[in-house]
Amino acid sequence: MTIKNLGKKFSFNNLSIKQKMLALYFLAFILPLVIITISLTKWINKTIKERQFALAKTSLEQTSSLLTSILTNCEQLGDTLFSTRAVQKALEYQFTSEQEVYKYYSSLSFLPDFSRSNPDVLNFIYYTENQTIIENAYFTRTNDEIKSKNWYKAAVAASGRPIWVIKNSETLDSQTLALVRALFNRTTGTLTGVLALHLDNRKIEQLVNAHKDQTIVLVDGKVAFSSRPFAFKEKLSLSTGLNIGEFKSDNILWGKDRSLTMLYGLYHEYGNSITLAQIIPRKDLESATNFVVLLCTLLMAGGSILSLSLLQIFANYMAKRVSYLQMQINRVVQNNFELGPRLSGSDEFAEIYDALMVTSNNIKTLIDEVYRHKIQREQLLARQNDIRFKMLSNQINPHFLFNSLETIRMQAIEDDNKEVAKTIKLLAKILRHNLSVSNNPVSLKAEIEAVDNYLAIQHLRFADRVKYSIDIHTDISDAVILPLLIQPLVENSFSHGLQDRKIGGLIEISIDTCNGGKVFQISIKDNGCGITKEELAKLKARLATGTVENFSSSIGMVNVNQRIKLFYGQDYGLEIESEIEKGTLVTIKIPAEFNSDGGKNV
| Cα–Cα distance measured from residue 195 to residue 125, given in angstroms and rounded to the nearest whole number | 6
Whole-number mean pLDDT of the chain? 77
pLDDT at 403: 41
Q: Which has more confidence, 592 or 591?
A: 591
Q: How far apart are the first and last CA of the chain?
A: 76
Tell me: the pLDDT tens digits for 57-98? 888 888 888 888 888 888 888 888 888 888 888 888 888 888
Q: Which has more confidence, 344 or 127?
A: 127
95, burial (CB in 10 Å: exposed 0-12, middle 13-18, buried 19+): middle
Tell me: the pLDDT tens digits for 23-44? 777 787 778 877 887 887 778 7
Mean pLDDT of 567-579: 89
State the architecture of 419-591 in CATH terms: 2-Layer Sandwich (3.30)
Long-range contacts of range 91-99, CB-CB < 8 Å, 24 or more positions apart?
Answer: 91/126, 91/128, 91/129, 91/130, 91/133, 91/183, 91/192, 91/193, 92/130, 92/185, 92/192, 93/130, 93/132, 94/130, 94/132, 95/130, 95/132, 95/133, 96/132, 98/134
pTM of the model: 0.44
pLDDT at 55: 80
pLDDT at 509: 93
CB 164 within 8 A of CB 71: yes
- Is 1 a residue whose pLDDT tops 70? no
- CATH 3.30.450.20 in the chain, residue ranges: 57-284
Query: Within a 10 A sphere around the Cβ of 546, how many other Cβ atoms?
Result: 15
- CATH 3.30.565.10 in the chain, residue ranges: 419-591
**CATH class assigned to 57-284:** alpha beta
- Over its C-alpha atoms, the chain yields an Rg (Å, rounded) of 43
Nearest to 493 by CA among 518, 445, 458: 458
24-61 burial: b if 16+ Cβ within 10 Å, else e? ebeeebbeebeebbeebbeebbeebeeebeeebeebbe
pLDDT at 182: 92
Long-range contacts of range 185-191, CB-CB < 8 Å, 24 or more positions apart?
Answer: 185/92, 186/88, 190/129, 191/129, 191/156
Mean pLDDT of 521-531: 89
pLDDT at 588: 93
Mean pLDDT of 166-177: 77
Q: Which has more confidence, 550 or 507?
A: 507
pLDDT at 11: 65
Q: Which has more confidence, 503 or 417?
A: 503
What confidence tier does 383 reach under pLDDT thresholds 50, 70, 90?
very low
Name the DSSP letter for residue 129.
Answer: S
pLDDT at 409: 36
Query: Within a 10 A sphere around the Cβ of 527, how many other Cβ atoms?
Result: 19
Q: Which DSSP helix (H) or strand (E) runs through 588?
A: strand 583-591
| Cα–Cα distance measured from residue 166 to residue 176, given in angstroms and rounded to the nearest whole number | 6
Tell me: the pLDDT tens digits for 318-372? 778 878 888 888 888 887 777 778 777 777 777 787 888 888 888 878 887 777 7
Mean pLDDT of 417-442: 68
- Is 268 a residue whose pLDDT tops 60? yes
What confidence tier does 392 reach under pLDDT thresholds 50, 70, 90?
very low
pLDDT at 393: 40
